[in-house]
Amino acid sequence: MGLENGSLASLMLPSGLITSYKAPMWHGGTLEVLHTTVTEEDSGAVIQGGVSLALECESDGGISWSPSSWILQDVRGNAEELIQVEMVSSDSENMAEAKYIVTLQQDIISSEIVISNLKSLPLQLTGSVISHLTVSNLDATYAIGLEGSNFFSRTPFLSNFGLIPPDFGQKNEVGSSQLWGQPGIRRFLSGSNAKNQNNADQVERIKKEEMEGEEEDNYKQLSSEMSRIYTSAPRNFTVIDRGRRNSVVVGRDGFKELYMFSPGSTHECYSKYTYICVGQSAVLKPIILGPEDVWRGGQHLHNPNL
């Protein structure tokens, strides 16, 4: 996907993964906004990062489905203004249909999700649109506009394309419970089923009570390890990288929560783990679709550097 002003984006099918977004800059060149890595393994190349969807639909009957394989439905637009790619995914039980629309404009790339409940019973939607933003180094990276937003510290999202340092969480975030590093708790908070649901629910309540906070910085440096879900963040906030002298305005529609992850500044500059992760989310409070309802949500990455 490419526009005449220099904006470029790469999209993979059938995964729907956006691996690259190159934005035109004030100095006349282009700059990569997304962080994507490729690792060669015995089974082939493993791609991590970029912009991906990690969503799950669950019916009242306990049947769940995650849209992960997308079929190209339409491509429209032109190289002067915008290019829009529409993909569709549906489950074998005919429970729900998902549309994923990626739009590249001169100064923005958008990821829009449309979920249709095809049944006469309610449907629960959880998950996130996850974006990995590349930065020069985390000591020079700041989030602007989150002051006063409530948050919960949580273990990182585990998704098909997520990129998380293997040593993340060995040093607890200030105010976190010591349960943070225990494998059983980590698995539970990452979405795995617990053997004893009552104990798991109790642990969850304890962690919510202990790990709730309010953002105190309007110009927050992202150099420390963090994995948070903001529950009252503004619809738009800005990420500034002073090392590369650029910024990205991150916006959302439909989703009520903001996920933010930083691997910390202990990693080498411009390395595999030099990025931040943002996600428009429905994790702490799932989205409920009534019978035959349609829900829309999405994320926008705006380039203000032209």
116, 142, 214, 226 from 223: Cα distances, Å? 40, 8, 18, 9
pTM for the predicted model, two decimal places: 0.84
Residue 172 lies in a domain: no
- Domain with residue 24: its CATH number is 2.70.98.10
Position 205 scores a pLDDT of: 53
Position 200 scores a pLDDT of: 54
| Dist CA 3 CA 86 (whole Å) | 17
Position 164 scores a pLDDT of: 86
Position 41 scores a pLDDT of: 77
Q: Which domain holds residue 238?
A: 8-163+218-302
Residues of the chain with pLDDT below 50 are 172-197, 206, 209
Number of domains in the chain: 1
| Dist CA 288 CA 28 (whole Å) | 45
Which H/E stretch holds residue 201? helix 197-211
Which H/E stretch holds residue 203? helix 197-211
The single residue listed with the structure tokens 């049944």 is: 119
Exposed, middle or buried, 42 (CB in 10 Å: 0-12/13-18/19+)?
exposed
Residue 203 lies in a domain: no
Residue 193 lies in a domain: no
Position 186 scores a pLDDT of: 34
| Dist CA 205 CA 260 (whole Å) | 21
Residue 76 lies in a domain: yes
Position 201 scores a pLDDT of: 57
Residue 159 lies in a domain: yes
**Is the bond preceding residue 122 a cis peptide, omega within 30 degrees?**
no
Residue 178 lies in a domain: no
Which H/E stretch holds residue 73? strand 71-78
Residue 197 lies in a domain: no
The most distant pair of C-alpha atoms in the chain lies apart, rounded to whole Å, by 58
Residue 265 lies in a domain: yes
Position 175 scores a pLDDT of: 37
HSE on the CB side for 56, CA within 13 Å?
A: 13
